[in-house]
């Protein structure tokens, strides 16, 4: 939630910041703003709406300068208004701050500052932090700290007082933050800090950057330093210093990131979501490439950092995630129990972090997260680690916080996912969970022949996905028939039950139609009351162990005049007699069906949302990376 960027160098800061904000827009898009430093003066521009609205404002009221900070907001405290947009200023009007996170004790801090005569103009927690930093800065000035000299030098020493003021303020803060701070009198430095919210430093030649994520700066540099919690960085054009909040020096590790700038372009697709749906065959391939051993009928996942003996000793697994990643975890539970016979539990991260569940010694915890930054998933990982459990991650974003904090894990290699609604990373997660289940199974009861059979079939999935994608236009025609509906049911059983949940989530997220995912038989205990001629039910009714059961559930809906859209196996003529519309998909073994059945549901949601005129890449109220509780 919220994206922040900072730039200090020799080029046009407004251009670089605006371009970076466009890349970060998926993190929040209700308002945006920037502050440019120019000859000891601030130029502040803030606007409700999208980055394009901020760009329009900048065309009317241009700014120039070679240093500054910017922000794209997802509101937590205070509605999206120009006033509440970041950057926020302190009492002196000389300090500007952008913030991602939540200052939980903002009310107490505000009262303290109000008592000292501070005046606030917004309803945000962030403005309180700006004032608090300003208050400490003023205190340092009153003590005659030489480092408060105006524009003292061009290096990071110029910012010593600002850094110190930030440090003192953050010690008073309870909550999470990724921040970037500038001072009009110290135009040669930007100060950044993080706790809980992501922040990285981009190291360039004669220029340096701060950003919530690497996509914002990748066009300029590949050399990054991922800041850790409680670290503060002071950036100058040609220098940077990292220290802890306790003022201990830190030797930062500069990493080269692999990331092609073109990967964050839409190319020939009208939306990132559609591009990413179509990238799934490649994403699945990238997830299993080099990880399959046909000879041994098993998978190789080197990054787990666990010996075969340690993996063999696991007698329970907990899979955690949020949103779409949680649905992947649910499929993972089926895979792990079916193929590896390991009792497996899934938990949504926000619940499990506060639930004091008993967890035995040989339990392995897996966090599944595209971004690797979802605050609840991260907090759950930390809680399990604190209790001494091994935690592993299935993560897409290399170098993200979860990836860095877990004991080991597997990267998805799905490439950047920009559409807010997750698609290709979901099927990538399913692929890795399949590999994991085969690996764990082969250490237990799974025969080599069965392992080989599953893995060979997994290698066929990309080709089969391509065949489903070719039906996009036919699915659009079905979407047209049903796009006026106010409510949908998604029904399936067994392996496909989590896909019913995912299909409903996709539709809700991007088309704002109410949708419920349910186990097909369980619908008789409630949702069947919703069935009427205006409420379509989407059934996943592929050829598998529960085919006949699902067919019977379809009859129950038809008997109540509910329209039925079925996702069925190619060659199934029977289903045509029952369903109003059928989307045929290639056949595969039961445990791999979710990889295919989800694709038509993603396309259905996409086309319905387009027909309803929704912004599929940036659905209202949502953000791609949820870094607040
Ligand atoms: C947000 C996104 C979802 C995503 C979820 C978990 O809600 O809109 O698409 O599934 O966060 O994100 P993660 O990065 O942890 O997979």
Residue range 205-252, pLDDT digits in tens = 999 999 999 989 999 999 999 999 999 999 999 999 999 999 999 999
User: Which CA distances in Å does 59 have to 54, 56, 316?
Assistant: 9, 5, 58
Confidence of residue 155 (pLDDT cuts 50, 70, 90): low
Pocket test for ligand 1, best of 28, 215, 370, 628 (most atoms within 8 A of CB): 370
Calculate helix-pair angle for 323-335, 497-511, nearest 10 degrees: 170
Work out the number of other CB atoms within 10 angstroms of the CB of residue 347. 18
Our answer on whether the CB atom of 428 is closer than 6 Å to any ligand 1 atom is no
Our answer on whether the CB atom of 323 is closer than 6 Å to any ligand 1 atom is yes
Alpha helices in 370-415 (DSSP H): 375-386, 401-405
Our answer on whether the CB atom of 378 is closer than 6 Å to any ligand 1 atom is no
Supply the residues annotated as catalytic.
2, 624
154, pLDDT greater than 50: no
Residues paired with residue 208 on neighbouring β-strands, in sequence order: 8, 203
Do residues 387 and 355 touch, judged by C-beta distance below 8 A? Answer: no
Our answer on whether the CB atom of 162 is closer than 6 Å to any ligand 1 atom is no
Atom of ligand 1 nearest to the CA of 425: 16
Atom of ligand 1 nearest to the CA of 622: 8
420, pLDDT greater than 90: yes
Average pLDDT of the segment spanning 425-444: 97
Query: Which is more confidently placed, 291 or 265?
Result: 291
Our answer on whether the CB atom of 420 is closer than 6 Å to any ligand 1 atom is yes
The CA 421 to ligand 1 mean position distance, Å, reads 7
- pLDDT reported for residue 449: 96
Q: How far apart are CA 450 and CA 452, in angstroms?
A: 5
- pLDDT reported for residue 27: 86
Share of the chain above pLDDT 70, in %: 97
67: nearest Cα among 93, 38, 88: 38
Burial of 549 (0-12, 13-18, 19+ CB in 10 A): middle
Q: How far apart are CA 112 and CA 135, in angstroms?
A: 11
Residue nearest to atom 5 of ligand 1 (CA): 323
Burial code (b: 16+ CB inside 10 Å, e: under 16) for 141-180 equals eeeeeebbeeebeebbbbbbbbbbbbbbbbeebebbbbbb
Average pLDDT of the segment spanning 248-272: 86
Q: How far apart are CA 208 and CA 11, in angstroms?
A: 11
Average pLDDT of the segment spanning 162-170: 97
Our answer on whether the CB atom of 379 is closer than 6 Å to any ligand 1 atom is no
Pocket test for ligand 1, best of 373, 626, 628, 629 (most atoms within 8 A of CB): 626
């Amino acid at each position: 939630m919220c994206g922040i960027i900072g730039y200090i160098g020799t080029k046009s800061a407004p251009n670089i910041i605006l371009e970076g904000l466009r890349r970060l827009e998926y993190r929040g898009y209700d308002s945006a703003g920037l502050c440019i430093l120019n000859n000891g003066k601030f130029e502040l521009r803030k606007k409700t709406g999208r980055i394009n609205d901020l760009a329009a404002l900048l065309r009317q009221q241009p700014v120039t300068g070679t240093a500054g900070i910017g922000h794209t907001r997802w509101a937590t405290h205070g509605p999206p208004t120009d006033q509440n947009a970041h950057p926020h200023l302190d009492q002196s009007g000389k300090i500007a701050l952008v913030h991602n996170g939540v200052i939980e004790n903002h009310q107490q801090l505000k009262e303290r500052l109000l008592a000292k005569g501070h005046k606030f103009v917004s309803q945000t927690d962030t403005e309180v932090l700006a004032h608090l930093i300003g208050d400490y800065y003023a205190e340092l000035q009153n003590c005659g700290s030489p480092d408060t000299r105006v524009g003292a030098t061009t290096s990071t020493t110029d910012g010593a007082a600002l850094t110190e003021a930030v440090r003192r303020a953050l010690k008073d803060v309870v909550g999470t933050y990724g921040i970037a701070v500038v001072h009009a009198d110290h135009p040669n430095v930007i100060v950044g800090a993080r706790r809980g919210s992501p922040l990285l430093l981009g190291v360039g030649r004669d220029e340096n950057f701060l950003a919530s994520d690497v996509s914002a700066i990748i066009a300029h540099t590949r050399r990054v330093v991922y800041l850790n919690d409680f670290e503060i960085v002071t950036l100058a054009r040609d220098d940077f210093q990292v220290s802890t909040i306790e003022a201990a020096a830190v030797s930062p590790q500069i990493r080269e990131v692999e990331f092609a700038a073109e990967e964050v372009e839409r190319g020939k697709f009208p939306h990132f979501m559609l591009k990413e749906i179509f990238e799934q065959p490649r994403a699945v391939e990238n997830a299993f490439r080099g990880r399959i051993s046909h000879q041994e009928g098993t998978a190789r996942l080197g990054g787990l950092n666990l010996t075969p003996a340690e993996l063999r000793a696991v007698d329970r697994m907990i899979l955690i995630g949020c949103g779409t990643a949680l649905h992947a975890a649910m499929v993972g539970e089926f895979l792990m129990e079916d193929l590896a016979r390991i009792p497996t539990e899934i938990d949504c991260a926000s619940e499990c972090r506060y639930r004091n569940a008993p967890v035995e010694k040989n339990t392995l915890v897996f966090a599944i997260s595209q971004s690797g930054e979802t605050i609840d998933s991260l907090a759950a990982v930390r809680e399990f680690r604190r209790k001494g459990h091994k935690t592993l991650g299935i993560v897409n974003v290399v170098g993200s916080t979860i990836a860095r904090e877990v004991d080991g894990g597997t990267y998805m290699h799905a490439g950047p996912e920009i559409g807010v609604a997750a698609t290709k990373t979901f099927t990538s997660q399913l692929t890795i969970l399949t590999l994991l289940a085969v690996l764990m199974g082969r250490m237990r009861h799974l025969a080599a022949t069965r392992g080989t059979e599953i893995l060979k079939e997994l290698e066929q999935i990309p080709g089969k996905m391509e065949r489903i994608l070719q039906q996009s236009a036919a699915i659009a025609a079905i979407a047209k028939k049903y796009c006026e509906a106010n409510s949908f049911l998604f029904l399936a059983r067994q392996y496909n039950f989590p896909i019913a949940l995912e299909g409903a989530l996709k539709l809700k997220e991007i088309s704002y139609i109410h949708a419920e995912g349910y186990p097909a038989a369980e619908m008789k205990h409630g949702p069947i009351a919703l069935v009427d001629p205006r409420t379509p039910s989407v059934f996943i009714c592929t050829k598998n162990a529960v085919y006949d059961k699902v067919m019977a559930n379809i009859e129950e809906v038809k008997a109540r005049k509910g329209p039925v859209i079925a996702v069925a196996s190619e060659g199934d003529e029977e289903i045509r007699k029952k369903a109003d519309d059928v989307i045929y998909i290639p056949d595969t073994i039961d445990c791999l069906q979710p990889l295919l059945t989800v694709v038509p549901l993603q396309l259905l949601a996409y086309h319905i949302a387009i027909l309803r005129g929704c912004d599929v890449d940036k659905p209202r109220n949502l953000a791609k990376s949820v870094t607040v509780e």
